[in-house]
Amino acid sequence: MHMHKLERVWLIIGVLTLIAFLSTVGYQAFASGHAPPSDLTKIDPEKVHDTPPFDEPGLKQIGDNEYELVMVLQSFGFTPNKVEIPQGATVKFIVTSVDVVHGFEIAGTRVNMMVTPGHVNSMTYKFNEKGEYLILCNEYCGTGHHVMSAQLEVK
Ligand code: CUA
């Protein structure tokens, strides 16, 4: 089969571009440990409810106005889904999912995590302002995605 010279040139450029992209993405993902975007702690998603600390989700005081909040994400809710903390509290959120990929975003803060089944993710934030904070799922996870939320009250 005869191939036009320009056709061959563009084909080669296309293949080279593809290799360049895949190498870049592959390097980011594996060599620099950027994927998946979560802690490197792994968990068996089928045994979340039996694996500490997720066997007892909830708020735990760990210091002077310092807390750990363990949350389990499941289609379509957060456990626990209502939490109260004092003003000025520093909270370490420790989260995982038992089913699909969910999001963990606290509106009005920089707390934003992707919650992937099989992985434990965490983030720490200090709540200086009183108020009602909305925790919501920002990864589309199915028919109930839009109702997946929880409440955090800082008083
Ligand atoms: Cu969970 Cu969207």
Nearest to 41 by CA among 70, 82, 66: 70
Asked whether 147 and 106 are in contact (CB, 8 A), the reply is: no
- Distance from Cα 116 to the centre of ligand 1, integer Å: 11
Considering only 31-40, 113-122, 146-155, which range has the smallest mean pLDDT?
A: 31-40
- pLDDT at 28 exceeding the cut of 70: no
Q: CB of 148 closer than 6 A to ligand 1?
A: yes
70 Cβ below 6 A of ligand 1: no
Q: Is 139 in the pocket of ligand 1 (CB under 6 A)?
A: yes
pLDDT at 111 over 90: yes
* Core vs surface per residue 10-47: b (16+ CB within 10 A) or e: eeeeeeeeeeeeeeeeeeeeeeeeeeeebbeeebebee
Cβ of 102 less than 6 Å from ligand 1 = yes
For 80, phi and psi rounded to 5 degrees? -75, 165
**What is the H or E stretch that residue 153 is in?**
strand 149-154
Where is average pLDDT lowest: 23-37, 80-94, 124-138? 23-37
* pLDDT given at position 31: 62
Distance of CA 100 to the CA centre of its chain: 11
